[in-house]
Amino acid sequence: MNLALLLPAGLAALAAALLPLLLHLARRHEQTPTDFAALRWLRQKPKPRHRIRFDEWPLLLLRLLLLALLALWLAKPVLSGADDTRPWIVVVPGVDVASAGEQARNADAQRHWLAPDFPSLDTPSPAGGPAIGSLLRQLDAELPPDTPLTVVVPATLQGADAERPRLSRAVTWTVVDGAMASASRPASTAPTFVVRHPAGNDTGLRYLRAAALAWQPAASTTSTLRVGTQDEVLPAITTPLVWLVPGPVPARVVQWIESGGTALLASDSALDGFAPTSTPWRDGDGVALVEAGARKEGRVLRFTRPLRPDAMPTLVEADFPQHLRALFDTQAAAPTRVLATDYAPSTGGATYPVAPHDLQPWLALLIALLALVERWMATRSSRNVAP
């Protein structure tokens, strides 16, 4: 254990220890001698030399100790090297506690759930799916470097992030029977998109309306589809555009795409320089239904067939809304389910210093107790005069 001072200048308060010394020296002059008449003619003898003598030395020592502790408190002492290095056993919620107990060979081990705030294993299993990787990294940073760590996990983990944990210590990774509760994912919002069609021609529009209705929750009354003719204003680049106008795509639409917009073109719409690089949608026979490619900052999609059931039978199939929505849901959710054997932490991570223990609260308590004792000793009835 090592004692350190964060503010050594606070020790200058030790100079205040001179005050009780002066007070106790002053008590020697409390009694004033009185000369008697019958003794005044006697020959005066030389007065003996006075020795420095302290009265009530227990009270003096107590006051000196109080001032020394106060000066030490001002210096902000901290204690390092007194960390608890007992082994830790953390259990992922979903593992049977009895199975976890069998893994604990050391009776002195500290047992906790791998959950926020690391509750004791004696408490009920925490609800919800914990972020396993983040919690392991936090625990590795908070534990002393010499503390052994055992992690008890089920065969399949929920809530894993995309990076395998890399810790500063070797971990005993124990896989037992059990299952974690599936992490609930927030329901995704149905995409809003805008359709522009030629005036007097709404071919295929009915199928797009039906798909937009299928995306909406049952209690929702707000439509996610905005329909207009080709002459109306274009939407913001964050809203997908379905362009059903045949012929060359106008320059204003091309500029909108190149600025970062996403446009789904009809099969008879022509865009100069469009070169498909992927096929995000195929039918059951593997025939491409939608082709995709980039255009500067934007993204271009194009149907390969007219929006008619005779040319594109998938329009009347039950999974048409899901396939259409997948064209606009470009950000897929990161996987959170992984086999426990593939998620075992590796070593080589950074080692974090353990924060020293602050001794100021304990010193403050000791100073308060000694101050009460000092007041009792200074004001007790058996004492004649208090300095």
Q: Between 332 and 78, where is the model more confident? A: 78
- Read off the tokens for 242: 């379905």
Average pLDDT over residues 367-379: 89
Please write the tens of the pLDDT for every residue from 16-69: 777 766 766 666 544 556 665 555 555 555 555 555 555 677 888 888 888 888
Please write the tens of the pLDDT for every residue from 150-180: 999 888 888 787 778 899 999 999 888 877 7
pLDDT at residue 219 in the model: 53
φ/ψ (deg, to 5) at 235: -75, 180
pLDDT at residue 244 in the model: 94
**Distance, CA of 347 to CA of 338 (rounded, Å):** 19
pLDDT at residue 271 in the model: 93
Burial class of residue 33 (count of CB atoms within 10 Å of its CB; 0-12, 13-18, 19+): exposed
Average pLDDT over residues 373-382: 82
Average pLDDT over residues 96-107: 64
pLDDT at residue 386 in the model: 44
Q: Are 109 and 89 in contact (CB under 8 A)?
A: yes
Q: Are 303 and 266 in contact (CB under 8 A)?
A: yes
- Ordered DSSP codes for 288-327: EEEEEEEETTEEEEEESS-SSTTT-GGGGSTTHHHHHHHH
- Ordered DSSP codes for 231-276: TSPP--TTS-EEE---EEPPHHHHHHHHTT-EEEE-TTEE-TT---
- Read off the tokens for 58: 């227990």
First-to-last alpha carbon distance for the chain, in angstroms, is 40
CA 29 to chain centre: 67
Average pLDDT over residues 229-247: 92
Tell me which amino acid residue 34 is: T
- Read off the tokens for 350: 């950074």
Please state, in angstroms and as integers, the Cα–Cα distance from residue 135 to each residue in 113, 117, 140, 154, 157, following that order.
10, 9, 9, 16, 13
**Distance, CA of 103 to CA of 111 (rounded, Å):** 11
Q: Are 153 and 174 in contact (CB under 8 A)?
A: yes
Q: Which segment of 4-13, 88-97, 263-272, 363-372 scores lowest on mean pLDDT? A: 4-13
List all residues 6 or more positions away from 316 whose beta carbon is below 8 Å from its beta carbon. Answer: 207, 309
φ/ψ (deg, to 5) at 190: -65, 135
Angle between helices 360-379 and 57-74 (to 10 degrees): 160
Average pLDDT over residues 76-90: 79
**Distance, CA of 61 to CA of 58 (rounded, Å):** 5
pLDDT at residue 42 in the model: 58
Q: Between 22 and 187, where is the model more confident? A: 22
Burial class of residue 135 (count of CB atoms within 10 Å of its CB; 0-12, 13-18, 19+): buried
Please write the tens of the pLDDT for every residue from 311-361: 999 999 988 998 998 888 755 455 567 888 888 898 888 877 767 778 889
